[in-house]
Amino acid sequence: MLSIEILKLSCSTSLTAINQKNKRIINNKIKLKIKSIKKCQKIGNLRSPMCSGSLNKKDAVWKSVVEPDLFWLFDSVLLSTSSLSRFKKDLAGFKVSHRMLAEMVRLSYQHRAFYCYVILSVWIFLLVAGMYKYIGIDEKSSMQARIIENDISIREFPRNLKIDVKTKKIFRFCNPPSEITTETEGKLDGNLTLGGILVFIRHGDRGPLAHIRNISLVNCGGDFSSIPELKNLYHNYVNFLQNVSSYSRTAWAQFLGPFHGFPMLPSNSKDCKIGQLTTLGIGQLLKTGIILKNAYYHKLNLGNNSISNKDIIVYSTRYRRTVQSAVALLYALLETDGFQNLAKITMQESQSYAFCNTDCACPAAEKFYKQYLKEMSDHLKSHPAVADLIRQASNAVFEIPDQAQMTDPNTLKDALLTYICHGASLPCIDFNTQRICVKTEHVTSLFTYTEWESKQVAKNNSRKKYGLLRAYGLLRNIVSYMLRIISEAKPKIVLYSGHDKTLEYLATALGIFSDKLTMPHYASRFVIEVYRINPKNENHVASDFYFRVVINGKDFTQKIPFCRNANFYSISYIERNEMEKRKDSKLCPIETIIRQLHDDYFGPFNATNFKDACTNHKYG
């Protein structure tokens, strides 16, 4: 307020001084002009420029506005040759005009002061309003944040998702260690010799791929107390990693290869860090390693310290979760004492999660993928209720949901698994007075839709072509190792530690289209067993070699299209569960997969090789 009064006083003082100065100047110049005119009359020279002409009021007023110096105004005005009385009359009129002019000037300066006051008032108003606005928002937001934080910590969330008839399929994606069991792997006996196996795994349980709410309240540590064998193995594994430097740092670095700087355990056993393998995930891979060891360790003659550097080949993508998953599985599969077997292995990096090697770049694949995404988007648009559910639930699940997260059911499903698989409460969020919570029925509705969508994906032609092109490099690699196992009896194990897409592409390449393989769960395993029929003599022919595909313990060999009409090899085995039961298994000749790769693989693209299939858009 003090600054306003000072400004008012300053403006008033300035205007008064200006008006008084202008009046003095004008009066002095008028007096000088009158003296000049009287002098002209006295000498009788009225025709001189100074004494002739008449005073024009309009000119005087106009000149006074345009030219502030009134002396030059009178120089431009001519007096007429009439008498001095005429001049005095005109001069009287000019004085009236001068008073009008002075009044206009005074009003002009008064208006300027008024404008000054208005601008100053508006500026002060905006300043004060802005201060109140931002201070108010900060106080309100901080208060609201405190209320929400306290509210969340005190008030209960909706109940945790419980296993029942409706939610059983949902928990399948979690794949807890207790559900990872031995089934048909390695159970074939008789007149067969197992030459080698190719193992493809998806990494174990991980943290979410985006920032989600209340992640600090989720306990991602695994409880292995119900599985004593796994509990002991986990403690041994932790001790092994903590003391690995006591064996040989050089050997450990050689084993990890390009991943030698990666930590093998979470910094905190309960951590749920973004995209990182959890303690539960480590337990899943240790359990998977136990199963593979029971099935193949002795059949492949891996004991008695007989493993060489050519027997085990390991690939992993450059993600911590895939590297850590591979190491956990290998420890459970191979190690019995110290660091003897792992020291003979060197892990190798794959630049692509498709393990495509040199056959990765493919413009046509991207074209098919875009078509597939558009078709999936159209599916979602045809279910507006589901789209609305995803949009609302995303606001409650993600801290800062973006457009992609709010329109993708699988992204939301993946985030929800963080809560579901670790027994955490489903999230809530407060919007002013409204509280939005993700409820059990929301989760079941979402997973029902994604299950329906996966069935559409299994039949989607664009998705099939995309998968074929993406998996070609991997299938070439598989066939190459099969031929080496046949000819050299090595390697005995080839391990690919990858992602869900890795298994999806491989299933597509083999022609296995199943909704369960469209969304493989954590720690899924995909095993290709290579067998040799024991001949009566030492001579082997190509028809003596067969393979079998086992996915999560289930035999999928006869679901492969190019194996159905082949000269398969049939063998029976005993399923030793609670009740012993004999089952039949049919092996597929290795000749068929070689023929499929070289002759028939690019048939859907009307091409004969990878290059043509990737550039021939006409038939896409």
Give the model's confidence band at 23: pLDDT under 50 very low, under 70 low, under 90 confident, else very high. low
Yes or no: say if 236 and 224 are a contact pair by the CB < 8 Å rule: no
DSSP assignment letter at 618: G
**570 versus 112: which is more confidently predicted?**
570
Asked whether residue 318 falls in the same domain as residue 427, the answer is: no
| Lowest-pLDDT range of 184-193, 274-283, 393-402 | 184-193
Domain boundaries, position 541: 178-357+472-614
What count of residues does the chain have? 620
Angle of helix 228-242 relative to helix 320-334, nearest 10 degrees, comes to: 110
**Do 353 and 372 sit in the same domain of this protein?**
no
Residues 308 and 414 in one domain: no
Q: Does residue 104 lie within any of the structural domains?
A: no
Task: Let me know whether 406 and 333 are in one domain.
Answer: no
Lowest mean pLDDT segment, chosen from 26-40, 151-165, 210-224, 466-480: 151-165
List all residues 6 or more positions away from 142 whose beta carbon is below 8 Å from its beta carbon. none
Domain boundary among 442, 461, 480: 461
Domain boundary among 417, 432, 461: 461
Rounded Cα distance, 440 and 166, in Å: 10
Residue 281 pLDDT > 80, yes or no? yes
Asked if residues 326 and 314 have their Cβ atoms less than 8 Å apart, the reply is: yes
Least confident of 191-205, 458-472, 557-571: 557-571
CA torsion 77-82-83-87 (nearest 10°) is -30
Residues 228 and 299 in one domain: yes
Which pairing describes strands 554-555 and 428-431: parallel, antiparallel, or unpaired?
A: unpaired
Write the burial class of residue 318 (CB in 10 Å: 0-12 exposed, 13-18 middle, 19+ buried): middle
The answer to whether 567 touches 560, Cβ cutoff 8 Å, is no
List the Cα angle 132/137/141 in 5-degree steps.
155
* Position 507 pLDDT exceeds 50: yes
Residue-wise pLDDT tens digits, 525-546: 999 999 998 876 667 777 889 9
Are 76 and 62 in contact by the 8 Å Cβ rule? The answer is no
Q: Within this chain, do residues 450 and 482 fall inside the same structural domain, yes or no?
A: no
Q: Could you say which of 461, 493, 522 is where a domain stops?
A: 461
pTM of the model: 0.73
Residues whose CB is less than 8 angstroms from the CB of residue 135 and which lie 6 or more positions away in sequence, other chains included: none
Note the Cα 80 to chain centre separation in Å: 92
User: Rounded to an integer, what distance in angstroms lies between the CA atom of residue 27 and that of residue 91?
Assistant: 13
| Interval 554-565: pLDDT, tens | 999 999 999 988
pLDDT at 316: 97
**Is the domain of 229 the same as that of 314?**
yes
Look up tokens 């598989």; give the residue. 478
- Can you tell me the mean pLDDT for 121-132? 74
Instruction: Please determine, for residue 553, whether its predicted confidence score (pLDDT) is greater than 50.
Output: yes
| CA–CA distance, 158 with 561 (Å, rounded to integer) | 47
Nearest CA-CA partner of 328 in 382, 281, 366, 261: 281
Please indicate, yes or no, if residue 491 is contained in any of the structural domains: yes
Residue 106 has a CB neighbour count (10 Å cut-off) of 15
Same domain, 452 and 477: no
Q: pLDDT at position 7, please?
A: 40
Instruction: Report whether 206 contacts 324 (CB < 8 A).
Output: no
Residue reference for tokens 């509280």: 435
Handedness of CA 146, 149, 150, 155 (dihedral sign): positive
The answer to the question of residue 124 being in a domain is no
**Tokens read off for 431:** 């919007």
User: Any idea what the CATH number is for the domain that residue 340 is in?
Assistant: 3.40.50.1240
Can you say whether residue 338 is alpha, beta or left, with left for phi > 0 and alpha for psi between -120 and 50 degrees? left
Tell whether 212 and 341 lie within a shared domain: yes
**312 in a structural domain:** yes
What mean pLDDT value characterizes the chain?
Answer: 80
**Are 476 and 376 part of one and the same domain?**
no
Q: Compute the distance between CA of residue 531 and CA of residue 426 in angstroms, rounded to an integer.
A: 48
Instruction: Please tell me the predicted confidence (pLDDT) of residue 111.
Output: 62
- As given in the structure block, the two tokens for residue 528 are 């290709």
User: Is the confidence at residue 95, as pLDDT, over 70?
Assistant: no
pLDDT over 90, % of the chain: 50
**Domain match, 299 and 442 both:** no
Smallest Cα–Cα separation from 474: which of 587, 320, 364, 351?
351
Please name the helix (run of DSSP H) or strand (run of DSSP E) that holds residue 286, with its range, or none.
Answer: helix 279-296
Residue 172 placed within a domain: no
Q: Please state, as a whole number, how many other Cβ atoms lie within 10 Å of the Cβ of residue 219.
A: 17
**Which ranges of 57-156 would DSSP assign to H, the alpha helix?**
57-66, 70-75, 84-154
53, pLDDT greater than 50: no
Q: Is residue 426 part of a domain?
A: yes
Residue 324 is encoded by which pair of tokens? 């850590």
The predicted model gives 22-36 an average pLDDT of: 62
* pLDDT bucket at 205, cuts 50 / 70 / 90: very high
65 or 222, which is more confident: 222
Is residue 197 in some structural domain? yes
pLDDT for residue 144: 36
Q: How far apart are the first and last CA of the chain?
A: 77
Give the pLDDT mean for 400-407: 87
Task: Give the separation between CA 581 and CA 344, rounded to whole angstroms.
Answer: 40
537 or 170, which is more confident? 170
Instruction: For residues 76-96, give the mean pLDDT.
Output: 49
SS3 for 39? helix
Are residues 347 and 426 located together in one domain of the fold?
no
User: Would residue 228 count as lying in a domain?
Assistant: yes
- Taking residues 391-411, what's their average pLDDT? 90
Output the pLDDT for position 65: 39
How many distinct structural domains can be found in the chain? 2
Q: Counting beta carbons within 10 angstroms of the beta carbon of residue 42, is it exposed (0 to 12), middle (13 to 18) or buried (19 or more)?
A: exposed
Q: How confident is the model at residue 86 (pLDDT cuts 50, 70, 90)?
A: low
Give the 3-state secondary structure of residue 301: coil
